[in-house]
Structure 1
């Protein structure tokens, strides 16, 4: 296994390296203010196989009806597990635990307020790496299926076992992780051991696991947060990462005597001719997880008389709602809420190439604030001081060659993007929203003021490529066409999709962004049971793309303006987004 780099949704990167006895995870951005991880940790991961004799006995027992049933074999002939070092994922035979943690110096960072949350964060990042590995064959080999051809054998979920070893040996740690949803067990009994599995390791919490399907439905905001820098003698400034929130009061630092306020941040954004944007989904000036559970359900009636739950307010204009590294493309995919701003929306999320902005981008006061400190202190370009790029205040710098229009969309407002895309013949054939700039502005205004949907702009590495709408089915015009037989649940969602940029078309990219939109719907509300699309019946290609992602055609529905295929994907049949 060669060293590899993993990219987390919040822009952090980790280096994964095989070491003696395990695998080492090392944070690459410890010298930045918003590093989320300790310097590193080591896991032990093994795979369990049956030995050749056990496999032979399983086969012969199945073929000979007079043979001793497997459950009745004497102890000397029972299945003997054979552990070997991890080479590649197996469907259900991998076991792992965190064996050691390297904590950062207490001189620079405070100890975590909740060590359990820090361990959960490391376990989540480890599983992020594990479930990005090539998926093992899905077929199960059992006593009953030993003679069945492999393609005809039953299928099982891909899962990894979390052993009660290493740092997981504590009496209360695994129960806490189970309540946080990151591990599970099939044993739902209280158990008869008063020590809750401590005195008898075979009971209680010794058989924990997590499946691929469950992992991808865990919201990263539950687990990802940042370590808190110390307030004295620290090179890490205590400032707010968001231009809309001021930093908390703190004692002056000996290495940074001036803090950056929100006005200087806004000035920096204004100087580059872009609108300031709300913080991303992982931004937290308190260094705490940013996930909040949904409130209790309350019901109201829509203007059309449909009883439905009160919907949460959508994210703000320009706010990034989803970010994920796509290994097969080598790019970050993001979705942000569309905006009516007269300035291009600044993209502050991660990209595949991170280039700090030059000094010319920053205002004089901001530049001097960053450089202030002890005599001969570090400059802006040195890694010990975070740049505006690292603080998510400025967009990545685009270098455009003469005659190169690949970055043209980065300098357009969302209304201009819609005007360009909607007037493309290919898009106009499906959407029918051609017209002048004022028409697209009215279209976007209507979408932003809808009470049951909101618009999104899709981006690859910060470059806009498409327009999408995500809506609640219960209040949509689709709902009456589904009838009153429970075809639309209270929290079912639907999608409208549009790819405007020619260079971002293609079957693989469709699988990536379409499965990501479904993934976002699952994460946005755990009560969402299905997602639907209703492409026109003559859009055969989109129907095929939907089926490749996991949608199935439920039936056809007749709108006043079109005949559509009703494509649906259910949470219970969804496994993972396209990687």
Structure 2
């Protein structure tokens, strides 16, 4: 397998080195493998490409017989649209003297498969055009398009017990065979043809699978505080993540069970996936209830995250930094950013010393911004925080603020009244203010991330609205 090792940066700050091995690809945890060991902690996947067997059916000489269909297996070199297959072949666990075994082995394997797919669907996208008999003489761009998918084989670790059905129930993998089946002995009908599409994968909430292991009290990895991510043991003077934030907490932030309620600044990345219980942090949308606001009937909304709370993070490979969003805060002190950092050098860190009110005053004083948003007024931020159908957010690159955003429910907004029946119950809208000149030109990164969060946090959201002015210039 001719591939160079690569590093996958997870939304919660964990890093895995993906390197080719004789049997496939090895995912090595950079947090667990601080010390050299002959058996690194991680797992091996077998990833290869199988030609469509329909392309390998040969007619007999008299045209009356055909040879059995056979798959042609090739080494994986780059993604294909439909022909790639993968399964987990082996797992190397951390020492039981350092970490407790997972409460659920199925959950741990699901996490490994999720990370594998997270890496795979960030590889170069294959050509979407299909080659069929009907379109073989058609120009490439006029051919029908297919969906990028990968097949999950029921082999290796995935052959164990009811693991494949469990992964399907979790929503991680799918099958086209939705019937119960008639096999009374081995009820495997439909479970051998599992797949994941890229469109499906990026709709899965990351918090449904991300979790960490519980360290033992007498762990050989010192310096890992009680509230830390257990997959990030930190030796004295050494950080597995390379860069860490070091500000101290101000007052008025979150209770102890959330990221900003820690007693002191931790020496590890904290974000929306942090949990002292080391369990997945996903919570399903609430039951549907309706209320009426200003003569508009709409679903009863959940409270947004609290002031200063990070609600979304992801690593952007093309920028080399983590993009994150947190709720704006009225605190007179700068809001500490405790999320993960990318390997790129941090710039413009002086912005981290400003509180959110000062940031908005500075940004709204710029003619480019005030021409669209108007002048700053003392109630600008407090009005946004008191709104029942929206909340204000601060966007950050590696913890450095660059812009202000308002995320709102369209139904109750003035836009919803103009749209009438076209505004659906869970449609969202976004207002945008990019205050820093150095952060301009990255619209695709932060806009797709905000849309990603909107679709993940409530799968009933079908549309995201923007309201650019007709005289807006890029």
Aligned residues of 2:56 and 2:70 also touching (Cα < 8 A): no
The question of 1:297 aligning with 2:297 is answered no
Provide the rounded CA distance (Å) in 1 between the counterparts of 2:362 and 2:420.
Answer: 37
Match of 2:226 in 1: 239
Equivalence map 1:10-29=2 (5 Å): 10-29=12-31
How much does 1:460 deviate?
A: 0.6
Match of 1:269 in 2: 248
Kindly provide the CA deviation profile for residues 392-417 of structure 1, in whole angstroms up to 9, marking residues without a partner as x: xxxxxx7x8xxxxx222111110111
Structure 1 vs Structure 2 CA RMSD: 2.7
Match for residue 463 of structure 1 among 400, 424, 442 = 400
Equivalence map 1:155-174=2 (5 Å): 155-174=145-164
Match of 2:198 in 1: 212
The question of 1:192 aligning with 2:171 is answered no
Q: SS at the partner of 2:414?
A: coil
Unaligned stretches of 5+ in structure 2?
35-39, 230-234, 236-245, 260-270
Aligned residues of 2:89 and 2:157 also touching (Cα < 8 A): yes
Provide the rounded CA distance (Å) in 1 between the counterparts of 2:121 and 2:89.
Answer: 20
Equivalence map 1:143-158=2 (5 Å): 143-158=133-148
The question of 1:417 aligning with 2:417 is answered no
Kindly provide the CA deviation profile for residues 219-269 of structure 1, in whole angstroms up to 9, marking residues without a partner as x: 110000010112346545561249xxxxxxxxxxxx9xxxxxxxxxxx982
Q: SS at the partner of 1:474?
A: coil
Kindly tell me the number of residue pairs found equivalent between the two proteins: 437
**Structure number with bigger Rg:** 1
Q: SS at the partner of 1:335?
A: strand
How much does 1:497 deviate?
A: 0.5
Match of 2:277 in 1: 286
Match of 2:424 in 1: 489
Equivalence map 1:148-547=2 (5 Å): 148-198=138-188, 203-232=189-218, 235=221, 237=224, 239-241=226-228, 269=248, 279=259, 280-302=271-293, 304-353=294-343, 406-432=348-374, 434-435=375-376, 439=377, 441-484=378-421, 487-506=422-441, 509-539=442-472, 541=474
Kindly provide the CA deviation profile for residues 1-53 of structure 1, in whole angstroms up to 9, marking residues without a partner as x: 10011100000000000000200000001168xxxxx91100001111259x9
Aligned residues of 2:321 and 2:344 also touching (Cα < 8 A): no
With the length of structure 2 as denominator, give the TM-score of the two structures.
Answer: 0.87
Q: Aligned in 2, Cα 1:476/1:107: closer, same or farther, shift over 3 Å?
A: same
Unaligned stretches of 5+ in structure 1?
33-37, 59-67, 243-254, 256-266, 356-397, 401-405, 542-579
Provide the rounded CA distance (Å) in 1 between the counterparts of 2:359 and 2:154.
Answer: 53
